[in-house]
Copies of this chain bind each other. A is one copy, B any other.
């Protein structure tokens, strides 16, 4: 059997699990998907103390820390090799005060510090790798005050090909990190090789499940050769994978994430310029809905208003940080003829192109549900989703859920106005703008507690109801998503909940 019923809330004996700290790697971290920032998508190897600390400060100023983005992660190219005693040494030009100083500075801002290493002989940037140096490197990281390790997969000396080979390689660092005694979030980055969603839950807090993301919504690139529902069985993860490529690749195993151990669809591209605002909204919403790690990848210091108002959207972040840890599931996809020329793959099919729509839904704490209606075509389209399909796991049209009526809350209708975002950016402070109803301070009160208290800013904007047996409908623009929270209004589901 698998975890379906467990995720659906039927697991009552959680006291046992909590006591063990099991249900994921045993460090107790990432009970909800980790949130933070990593420099790679925007800066690549152009790293420095200044970049990290200035970015961390802006994250505080812009309210992103308090929105939950806790980790500041330094990616590849920070190294100057190994010292004579074998320990990794930071590049002293770029990190003139050493890594411990960077960690301290970030800690002093109330944030956490992440770093990067590789389970190979070299990092992807061809610096010293950690394969065979797991213990010493883990000790170095812990000594510097590191709270998070992104652990990559380049130059792995052929150590892959069965789950067991890859598991053993990644477990070595897991054990080494645990042995330091410092809680260090362990973020595996082996691109889905050897199916980490099958086995990583007991050794890591998250695992990348695809090749690297690129800042594009759905462009086909031969360098990301696996796609769609067969993409889980991929001998070449590649890179230049579009956001939709990665999302669809993950559709077969939404159940594999769980508190403490998450699917990582790769760092966000929001704000990097390669997608439209609509596309970024879809990208961000779906990463939240499927409980991906949420690591920003843009230049925080040069952020525009629309980027900020996506990244800080409290109604969507409440989905990401929902207590159940239950991923949305793709309930259906339909193909329709259209004229989208944006995808080479489509064009490659010869005459006649195809548009695609999808419906995703998932369980939220307290009996709520997430619903997302996606339009992957190039023209706006009316999309309908029946309660029977939204609640198909509960039994479809005969389920108590489908026979109840629901309030519908739009997750984007209360998006922070550009004016407010611009005030924040210009003032370097959230307090300068009126953020009532558009922002949540997770540092003061967690998303989970806010949802439990029915904070309106977390539920979204009430836009209507859907009757028992009815459907949700919305025009959805090209590459857009209509994303809502459903809350029980009346009927058997409501009664069941009231009895709790």
- Interface status of A348 (Cβ within 8 A of chain B): yes
Across the interface, which residues of B come within 8 angstroms of A215, CB to CB? Answer: 395
Given the interface pairs A45-B5, A395-B274, the reply to whether A232 lies near B236 with Cβ below 8 Å is yes
Given the interface pairs A46-B10, A223-B254, A229-B222, the reply to whether A335 lies near B354 with Cβ below 8 Å is no
Given the interface pairs A158-B163, A164-B165, A329-B223, the reply to whether A212 lies near B11 with Cβ below 8 Å is no
Across the interface, which residues of B come within 8 angstroms of A236, CB to CB? Answer: 195, 232-233, 252-253
Q: Are A164 and B160 in contact (CB under 8 A)?
A: yes
Given the interface pairs A22-B126, A333-B348, A344-B333, the reply to whether A229 lies near B225 with Cβ below 8 Å is yes
Q: Are A225 and B238 in contact (CB under 8 A)?
A: no
List which A141-178 residues lie within 8 A (CB) of chain B.
152, 154-168, 171
Stretch among A73-81, A455-463, A482-490 lining the B interface: A73-81
* CB proximity of A360 to chain B, nearest CB, Å: 10
List which A374-392 residues lie within 8 A (CB) of chain B.
392
Q: Are B235 and A3 in contact (CB under 8 A)?
A: no
Across the interface, which residues of B come within 8 angstroms of A239, CB to CB? Answer: 1-2, 4, 255
* CB proximity of A80 to chain B, nearest CB, Å: 7
Q: Which of B10, B165, B167, B330 contacts A44 (CB 8 A)?
A: B10
Q: How many copies does the complex hold?
A: 4
Q: A350–B346 Cα gap in the complex (Å)? A: 14
Q: A124–B201 Cα gap in the complex (Å)? A: 12
Q: A273–B400 Cα gap in the complex (Å)? A: 12
Given the interface pairs A5-B44, A6-B125, the reply to whether A222 lies near B329 with Cβ below 8 Å is yes
Q: Are B232 and A40 in contact (CB under 8 A)?
A: no
Across the interface, which residues of B come within 8 angstroms of A156, CB to CB? Answer: 198-199
Across the interface, which residues of B come within 8 angstroms of A229, CB to CB? Answer: 222, 225
Q: A350–B335 Cα gap in the complex (Å)? A: 6
Q: Are B354 and A334 in contact (CB under 8 A)?
A: no
Across the interface, which residues of B come within 8 angstroms of A75, CB to CB? Answer: 1
- Interface status of A91 (Cβ within 8 A of chain B): yes
Across the interface, which residues of B come within 8 angstroms of A415, CB to CB? Answer: none
- Interface status of A95 (Cβ within 8 A of chain B): no
Nearest B-chain residue to A156, judged by Cβ: B199
- Interface status of A23 (Cβ within 8 A of chain B): yes
Report the count of interface residues on A (CB-CB < 8 A): 99
Given the interface pairs A77-B11, A229-B222, the reply to whether A211 lies near B334 with Cβ below 8 Å is no
Given the interface pairs A160-B163, A233-B235, the reply to whether A46 lies near B334 with Cβ below 8 Å is no
Q: A252–B235 Cα gap in the complex (Å)? A: 11
Nearest B-chain residue to A197, judged by Cβ: B236
Q: A273–B394 Cα gap in the complex (Å)? A: 11
Q: Are A165 and B162 in contact (CB under 8 A)?
A: yes
Q: Are A121 and B202 in contact (CB under 8 A)?
A: yes
Q: Are B332 and A45 in contact (CB under 8 A)?
A: no
Nearest B-chain residue to A250, judged by Cβ: B222
Q: A319–B202 Cα gap in the complex (Å)? A: 44
Q: Which of B199, B240, B252, B398 contacts A157 (CB 8 A)?
A: B199
Q: A349–B392 Cα gap in the complex (Å)? A: 21
Q: Are A354 and B344 in contact (CB under 8 A)?
A: no
Q: Are B2 and A154 in contact (CB under 8 A)?
A: yes
Scan A337-348; emit 1 where CB is below 8 A from any B CB, else 0. Answer: 100000010011
Q: Are A13 and B45 in contact (CB under 8 A)?
A: yes
Most buried by B among A2, A91, A224, A395: A2
Across the interface, which residues of B come within 8 angstroms of A253, CB to CB? Answer: 223, 236, 238
Q: Are B6 and A45 in contact (CB under 8 A)?
A: yes
Across the interface, which residues of B come within 8 angstroms of A232, CB to CB? Answer: 225, 235-236
- Interface status of A251 (Cβ within 8 A of chain B): yes
Q: A75–B11 Cα gap in the complex (Å)? A: 13
Across the interface, which residues of B come within 8 angstroms of A122, CB to CB? Answer: 22-23, 202
* CB proximity of A394 to chain B, nearest CB, Å: 10
Q: Are B274 and A252 in contact (CB under 8 A)?
A: no
* CB proximity of A206 to chain B, nearest CB, Å: 15
Across the interface, which residues of B come within 8 angstroms of A295, CB to CB? Answer: none
Q: A334–B171 Cα gap in the complex (Å)? A: 44
Q: Which of B44, B127, B392, B396 contacts A16 (CB 8 A)?
A: B127
Given A11-B77, A13-B45, A162-B162, 13 new contacts (CB under 8 A): A1-B189, A3-B124, A10-B45, A157-B199, A158-B166, A158-B167, A158-B168, A159-B164, A160-B162, A160-B198, A161-B162, A332-B344, A334-B347
A–B pairs, 24, beta carbons within 8 Å? A2-B154, A2-B239, A11-B45, A11-B125, A13-B91, A16-B79, A20-B81, A23-B126, A122-B202, A157-B202, A160-B163, A161-B165, A195-B236, A222-B251, A223-B329, A225-B252, A232-B236, A239-B255, A273-B395, A333-B344, A333-B348, A334-B344, A335-B348, A337-B351
